[in-house]
Amino acid sequence: MQLTTLDYSIIGGFFLLVIGIGLWAGRTAGKSSKHYFLSNRDMPWWLLGVSMVATTFSADTPNLVTDIIRKNGVAGNWVWWAFLLTGMLTVFVYARLWRRSSVLTDLEFYEIRYSGRAATFLRAFRAIYLGVFFNVVIMAGVMLAGMKIAGILLGWSAETTLIVLSAIILAFSTIGGFKGVVVTDFVQFGLSMLGMILAAIYLIDLPEVGGLTALVNHELVVDYTSFFPDFDNRETLITLFIIPIAVQWWNVWYPGAEPGGGGYIAQRMLSAKDENHAVKATLLFNAAHYALRPWPWILIALASLIVFPQVSDIAKAFPDLDTTLLGDDLAFPAMLSFLPAGLLGLVIASLLAALMSTISTHLNWGASYIVNDFYKRFIKPDASEARLVNVGRLSTVILMLLAAFLAPYLDSAKEAFDLLLKIGAGTGLIFILRWFWWRINAWSEISAMVFPLLVIIYFKTVGTHGLKEYEQLLVMIALTTAVWVTVTLLTRPTSTEKLESFFALVRPHEVGWGPISKKLNLDTRIGANFPSELLMMALGCLMVYALLFFTGSLLYGAYINALICLAVAILSGGFLWRMNRT
């Protein structure tokens, strides 16, 4: 495929814009580690909310959604739609708590919540475990998507793609720090959405597809359009809907959808101007993430079922493509190959924007762990702010190189997604309860972090004993939960002094803090009470799901269903707005 001068001009203009933003932000990013990693805690909610959405709008996400739909239909998206529940829990219960903690990273939480050497070890270990290992796996999955897209649309080899993308991302990420990342996210998200919407409009009008009505009624597509799995198919129902909605959202840790908040979502809440900005930012993120973004990808994925019904059809259309990259997820970039000059350049720029947004966030987030929670805490506590910023920039380079090295060894974004779900199985409940149950200690988290890895090793070496994928996940969750609860009850509690200082700083609800709250004469009734927060969480979920299905019903031509969904969204949103004001 040959790009035109217009395409190259659009892509080049985009690069100049983001580099310019990075240089502008770099004027203040180097002042201190707080500036470099949190922009001095002065970010507004709308900028942070869009930044969260942009970060989770990665170049590999459309590939993942396409892979899911081609295998399990639109209903397959419940494997990530279910995480809206934990997202809304973060909005109305945990956002204020995180902002009150005033930590620089969410790992610093460990030493204000727990005591002893176990807390110190936990902070150090997770700085490397999450900041390096998890981060590199996630970024490698994103880079893999970039390799596939560049292979289809630009004809680049995997090596060329890795070298070019790594160089461009590093040139931007190391300069601007967190502020550069967030401001660029805002521009990148607008470009990404524009590119995807225009691409979807063009591709569903291809002669092979025949327009929106023909698409949703096509014999190859009609069985893939349902919002919910077939309730008569027990295994599909359990795998695609019951497990995600009943268990996965609250008991599985996944970056961007951590129960109780964490990672780069916590980083943005911690950088907000105040608690209200933290709440509004996470609410905007969840609404846009689940209700606004998915439909252009869904339409393109459905159209690919007509144009490329089988993976073999993709291989025939692109005979020079590396066969190791072939898979259902490749149908997304394959569809983009039909785009005309100008629009193709815009879409490539939008995908690059999505990729750069995700990678730059993970680089800055991972570097913050390495600098604040490992280097400054354990290697050089008296390091100057200039040195900390320089170590952060060096860490950014190392993380990028590791991700580029790992990317060719992954098969698909779905593979990375499933691996991370398994590693985090059974840990989510701790992240929810550690704010509400004083008895949880550092050993609880250590045991929950290590045990899933042991189970994965067992399954890989000994065998799964015929257990299906969802059954393996349930076994891991049950065993991990039993282990960490047992460890909690058998180990020494966090010191009373540490618990009292944490309670006084964060002022969580008194649920589960009886022995501690009775000793302190503090007013913890700030904002809504706990039952009201749970009700607002439910209303928020209802509103966003209704908006998601309103858009889908409108696109499907089911106008009565669309009106019902819109009415539900307006009513739940109205109640939510009123409750949040009182």
List, as own/partner pairs, every contact residues 108-115 make where C-beta atoms lie below 8 angstroms and the sequence separation is at least 24, other chains included. Answer: 108/372, 108/373, 110/442, 110/445, 112/498, 112/501, 112/502, 112/505, 113/434, 113/494, 113/498, 113/502, 114/441, 114/442, 114/445, 114/494, 114/498, 115/442, 115/494, 115/495, 115/497, 115/498
Cα-to-chain-centroid distance, residue 514: 34
55 within a domain of the structure (yes/no): yes
Residues found in the chain? 582
For residue 551, pLDDT over 90 is answered with: yes
Kindly report, residue by residue over 294-334, the tens digit of the pLDDT.
999 999 999 999 999 998 898 888 887 777 767 888 898 88
For residue 386, which amino acid is it?
Answer: A
538 within a domain of the structure (yes/no): no
Domain count across the chain: 1
How far apart CA 538 and CA 541 sit, in angstroms, is 5
Q: Which is more confidently placed, 564 or 411?
A: 564
Residue 514: CB atoms within 10 Å: 9
274 within a domain of the structure (yes/no): yes
27 within a domain of the structure (yes/no): yes
Which residues make beta-bridge pairs with 252? 425
Measuring CA to CA, which residue among 174, 176, 171 is closest to residue 28? 176
Q: What is the mean pLDDT of the chain?
A: 85
How far apart CA 44 and CA 520 sit, in angstroms, is 33
35 within a domain of the structure (yes/no): yes
Token representation of residue 204: 């569903």
Kindly report, residue by residue over 69-94, the tens digit of the pLDDT.
999 999 999 989 999 999 999 999 89
Signed CA dihedral, 467, 423, 120, 496: sign only = negative
218 within a domain of the structure (yes/no): yes
* Average pLDDT of the residues in 15-38: 72
Measuring CA to CA, which residue among 532, 542, 530, 548 is closest to residue 573? 542
Kindly report, residue by residue over 370-389, the tens digit of the pLDDT.
998 999 999 998 888 888 88
Amino acid 552: pLDDT: 94
The answer to whether residues 227 and 314 touch, using CB atoms and an 8 Å cutoff, is no
Domain that residue 127 falls in? 5-423
For residue 431, which amino acid is it?
Answer: F
Amino acid 421: pLDDT: 63
Amino acid 329: pLDDT: 85
Residue 560: CB atoms within 10 Å: 8
Q: What is the pTM of this model?
A: 0.84
How far apart CA 191 and CA 350 sit, in angstroms, is 5
Reported as a pLDDT band with limits 50, 70 and 90, residue 549 is: very high
User: What CATH number is associated with residue 52?
Assistant: 1.20.1730.10
For residue 582, pLDDT over 70 is answered with: no
For residue 115, which amino acid is it?
Answer: S
61 within a domain of the structure (yes/no): yes
Reported as a pLDDT band with limits 50, 70 and 90, residue 26 is: low
Quick one: what percent of the chain has pLDDT higher than 70? 93
Least confident of 58-62, 175-179, 218-222, 413-417: 413-417
How far apart CA 358 and CA 59 sit, in angstroms, is 8
The answer to whether residues 172 and 88 touch, using CB atoms and an 8 Å cutoff, is no
How far apart CA 496 and CA 517 sit, in angstroms, is 11
Q: Which is more confidently placed, 134 or 136?
A: 136
Amino acid 416: pLDDT: 59
545 within a domain of the structure (yes/no): no
